[in-house]
Amino acid sequence: MDLDRYGPWALIVGGSEGIGAAFAQKLAGAGFSLALVARKEGPLDDLAEALRAGGTEVRTLSVDLGQPGAVERVRAVTDDVEVGLLIYNAGANSVRGHFVDLDPEVYRSVIAVNVTGQTEFVHHYGAPMCRRGRGGIILCGSTASYMGSATLATYNASKAFSRIFSESLWAECRDLGVDVLHLNVGFTATPAMARLGYTLDAAQAPEEVAQEGLDHITDGPVWIVGGARNVELAVQRSTVEHRARAVLEFATPGRS
């Protein structure tokens, strides 16, 4: 990863465990200083301690991205440094259910993190990158973004927003020296997935996902991780013909 092009600081939102932690470890190895933001304070502190032991300068902030004012809180620990790489990795879905039965706070939180929060962070940290004429933005999405799915209505829709948003940013920023990539993530062996009860034997390792993102940051607007199988799944979920059949056949499966 080119420190001169994307450094000296990387901000990882959702950077305490799983893919976010893998990004942090790889960027630390490349000489980046890191600002790590996540909700869970314990894993965040543990990761920061390990990275500092290896000589990396690390700042951390525990913040609930679903609450108003998150970007303003993060600015307090980043506005005095040059953030050349923004990785927005937040946005896991912990509650499934029929939309009309959900507590409104569930879908409001999903929208706050995956839509409102993502746009606010990109707006604040992307503007100076464009003025400097260098930098990178990686927005982590999901293969779920290609199709609606029962019990995941708001999550899938918000990930679709993220993908189209990324494509638009890529078109705007490509001539300004800023690389934008929507990293379309498949089934990954993260602690969040383990907590939800998934069997992770067939899941991709977070380290592999992070490495694909860093290796392909210049290959935007979208990079689908995990090889041909996930690409084919995205194609199947994107078909326009026989849409009703496609939604039922290829939609994101339930946890059972």
- All domains in the chain, ordered by first residue: 3-250 (3.40.50.720)
pLDDT value of residue 23: 97
pLDDT at 167 over 70: yes
C-alpha angle 215-135-56 in degrees, rounded to nearest 5: 75
Q: Which of 13-17, 89-93, 226-230 has the lowest mean pLDDT?
A: 89-93
* Percent of the chain residues topping a pLDDT of 90: 73
Q: Which alpha helices (DSSP H) does 1-103 contain, by range?
A: 3-6, 18-29, 41-53, 70-75
pLDDT (mean) for 73-90 = 96
pLDDT (mean) for 199-221 = 89
pLDDT band of residue 27 (cuts 50, 70, 90) is very high
CB-neighbour burial class of residue 62 (10 A; exposed 0-12, middle 13-18, buried 19+):
middle
Beta strands 33-38; 135-142: pairing state? unpaired
Amino acid at 202: A
| Helix 206-215 × helix 18-29 angle, to 10° | 50
SS3 211: helix
Q: Do residues 14 and 40 touch, judged by C-beta distance below 8 A?
A: no
Provide the sign of the torsion angle of the four alpha carbons 43, 49, 50, 55, taken in this order.
Answer: positive
Task: Report which of residues 225 and 192 the model is more confident about.
Answer: 225
Q: Which of 19-28, 152-161, 218-227, 234-243 has the lowest mean pLDDT?
A: 234-243
* Percent of the chain residues topping a pLDDT of 70: 92
The two three-digit tokens of residue 251, written as one number: 């939609």
The two three-digit tokens of residue 218, written as one number: 């210049």
d(CA 121, CA 52): 25
SS3 80: coil
**pTM of the predicted protein model:** 0.92
d(CA 180, CA 167): 8
| 12: Cα within 13 Å, side-chain hemisphere | 28
pLDDT value of residue 248: 79
pLDDT band of residue 253 (cuts 50, 70, 90) is low
| Helix 18-29 × helix 41-53 angle, to 10° | 20
Q: Average model confidence (pLDDT) for the chain?
A: 91
